[in-house]
Structure 1
Amino acid sequence: MILTVLLGAAFTVFAIPSAAQADPIIDIVCVGVEEATFDPGLRLFEQDVDITSHIDYEECVSATIDSGTTDSGGEDIPLSCLSILFSSSGTWEIVWNTTDTSTFEFDYTVSQSGGQTIMTLIGTITAGEFTGSDAVMTLTGGSITQNCLFAPGVTENTSAVSLTISH
């Protein structure tokens, strides 16, 4: 009888509650505008396109940073209006109004929903201010497929930007 109770106790599974996940601590939240240009303009056929982008983080909420910018460009990518929806990775440098910088390494996807083009970047701050923190950026702009039929095609696009960096 004692052996049966001991064996039964040995095979009893105990439920141990998992450690509660703490909500992330927000380092900074920014909203702003991105101006992207495409040269030559996006058309229905694929061609090498130089993409440049300027982002103004117009309003930021943090202890010391009020705003910032990101500039990228010189990327020749084989692209068309029909192939704009894709996934890839990249690195951008954010320059804050304090002159500090953050290097944002990310994976991104471009999708369309409800007549809008949405680019979602998810990654990590790998250098500078907020090193080691997670970052999520969303760029939401109008549909770019409307002007693809005729020259010069889509030569620019404006998007609303939101950025959250947390750890």
Structure 2
Amino acid sequence: MTSSSRHVSRGFFLLVALLGTSALAQSGIHALTCIGTQEMTFAPGLKILPVDVTLSASANLDTCWSLDTDVTSATFQVEVTGSGSCARGSYHDEIVITWNTGETSTLSMNNPVEVRPLSPSGTTAYGRVVSGRFEGSLVATTLQTIPGEHDLLDCLTGGLTQSMGLVSLSLIQLQP
């Protein structure tokens, strides 16, 4: 992640946190932040050089903060094909979030979601909620991969077939 994208990401999350707890929220601004874990599988397994690979991911956003007290958690599953290696994978897809209320939101990301299985550095993607609950909201997601003890060895031999990480999702909606 570049220094400028890190600053934009931090600024976005700070704005969401401040607006979510300020009097501005009473004027029609809605903010929501969720955190949790994401498990990923790769088929075929990731190796050192990039190949087409299918990423299947499942996330459990078990803690959400919002002025909208009925939203407390969310989940999503994604299956997408893209070019990936152990150093970096780039995947572009819509994400359907299922909230604990049973409602859904479809996210369209403006830039590909990047996965870096061997790096503990985070990646950020931005987009918009295109349908469902919170439609029109701006979205930022981060994924902080947690490298496993044998991931490098797997990359050099048969291929890395699974990984996990910490994921966050923040959205902000300005009501008309």
CA contact (8 A) 2:146 2:166 kept: no
Residue 133 of structure 1 corresponds to 137
Aligned to 1:5: none
In structure 1, list runs of 5 or more residues that go unmatched.
Answer: 1-22
Query: Partners of 2:48 and 2:58 in 1: how far apart?
Result: 25
Instruction: Report the CA distance shift for 1:111/1:99 in structure 2 as closer, same or farther (over 3 A).
Output: closer
- 1:99 pairs, out of 99, 102, 105, with 102
After the TM superposition, list the runs of 4 or more consecutive aligned residues in structure 1 that deviate by more than 4 angstroms.
none
Pairwise CA distance, 1:39: 1.3
- Normalising by structure 2, what TM-score? 0.70
1:149 aligns with 2:156: yes
Structure with the higher helix share, 1 or 2:
2
Alignment check: 8 A CA contact 2:61 2:73 kept: yes
Q: Once superposed, what is the RMSD of the aligned Cα atoms?
A: 2.4
Contact 2:147 2:164 in 1 (8 A): no
Paired residue total = 140
Residue of structure 1 in register with 2:84 after alignment? 79
Matched residues in 1 for 2:133 and 2:107: separation?
Answer: 10
CA 35–103 in structure 1, closer or farther in 2 if over 3 Å, else same: same
Q: Which runs of 5+ in 2 are unaligned?
A: 1-17, 20-28
Contact residue 60 and residue 66 of structure 1 kept, 8 A: yes
The C-alpha deviation readout for 1:90-126, integer Å capped at 9, x for no partner, is 21000001011111111235376x9414331101111
Contact 2:115 2:143 in 1 (8 A): no
Change (3 A) 1:115 1:44: closer
Larger radius of gyration between Structure 1 and Structure 2: 1
1:49 to 48, 53, 77: 53
Which residue identity does 1:150 align to in structure 2?
Answer: T
TM-score by length of 1: 0.73
Whether the aligned pair in 2 keeps the contact of 1:111 and 1:117 (CA below 8 Å) is: no
Residue correspondence of structure 1 range 2-81 to structure 2 within 5 A: 25-62=29-66, 63=68, 64-73=70-79, 75-81=80-86
Distance 1:117 1:154, change over 3 A: farther
